A = this chain, B = another copy of it.
Amino acid sequence: MRDELAVSAGFVLADLDPGSTPGFDGDKDDAAEAMASVADELAELQERLYADGRDREGRSVLLVIQGMDTSGKGGILRHVVGAVDPQGIQLTSFKAPSKEEQAHPFLWRIRNALPKPGYIGVFDRSQYEDVLIVRVHDLVPRSTWVRRYGQINSFEAGVIEKGTAIIKVMLHISEDEQKARLQERLDRPDKNWKFNPADVDEREFWDAYQESYQALLDKTSTDEAPWYVVPADHKWYARLAVQQLLLEQLREIDPQWPAATYDVEAEKARLADT
């Protein structure tokens, strides 16, 4: 899916149909089947990555998930990340910064959450909130957030240089689909807790958010860490797409089982004596 979904020069967010399914012409059942068919491969690649990181020198992967409210970030965590061995996952959900976090540069808490060698780090929201909600609501001066695109690019270049592959995903939903999903949260008592009145207020700023997303796609989609914009009006497609992006990245890394650091035959003999 990388080729179909990667942002390149001239990409226009408004031109991408959130209901489309680039690179996949099946339906919901086909998508579930496609996901199941590679589950074992994904599990083995993840375990190889983990094993290879045991010496604290292996590669790691960072999956960054952004998207408007109700775009399906939680579903990605449950159905894609949740299908991977939890021992190999470092999941961080970034909320509004705490007082301690606010006292540090905006990348401080991000740096602290980077995946260790062998791990798949997952960011539910990320450094990009600092050029999204912050920009839309003027939470810092313009001169500050303007600088952040470059700071993020430098930061990510350093992370990549140290061996972490970064997969940046924007879940792209339509304004109407968001309305329907918020409506569902109001209609179903078992979903009421997911609804926040502020979510309705934020809809006033829909266009400003889309502009801010367009700006960050323009400025932070780099060769080493391109953005992937995933049409997300169909949850089943978004899940398949993110799983595929993760799988393709792990295939590229192609981690190998580490060689034994001890004498296997000697250990067999020692074990036999016990």
- Which of B91, B183, B189, B194 makes the CB contact (< 8 A) with A86? B91
Q: Is the CB of A203 within 8 A of B274?
A: yes
Binds B, one of A5-13, A100-108, A219-227, A252-260: A252-260
Closest-CB distance, A243 to chain B (whole angstroms):
14
Task: Check A186–B268 contact: CB distance below 8 A.
Answer: yes
**Other-chain residue from B51, B192, B204 in contact with A264 (beta carbon distance below 8 A):** B192
Contacts of A238-274 to chain B: CB distance below 8 A: 257-260, 262, 264, 267-268, 270-271, 274
Contact present for A89 and B86 (CB under 8 Å):
yes
B87–A78 contact, CB under 8 A? yes
Determine whether the beta carbon of A192 is less than 8 Å from that of B260.
yes
Q: Are B192 and A257 in contact (CB under 8 A)?
A: yes
Contact bitstring A157-199, B, C-beta under 8 A = 1, else 0? 0000000000000000000000100110010011011110100
Q: How many copies does the complex hold?
A: 2
Residue of B nearest to A88 (CB): B78
User: With contacts A183-B271, A186-B267, A192-B260 known, what are 8 further pairs, Cβ within 8 A?
Assistant: A82-B84, A82-B86, A87-B91, A179-B274, A192-B257, A192-B258, A195-B267, A197-B267
| A interface residues, Cβ below 8 angstroms from B | 51, 54, 74, 77-78, 81-82, 84-87, 89, 91, 93, 124, 179, 182-183, 186, 189-190, 192-195, 197, 200, 203-204, 257-260, 262, 264, 267-268, 270-271, 274
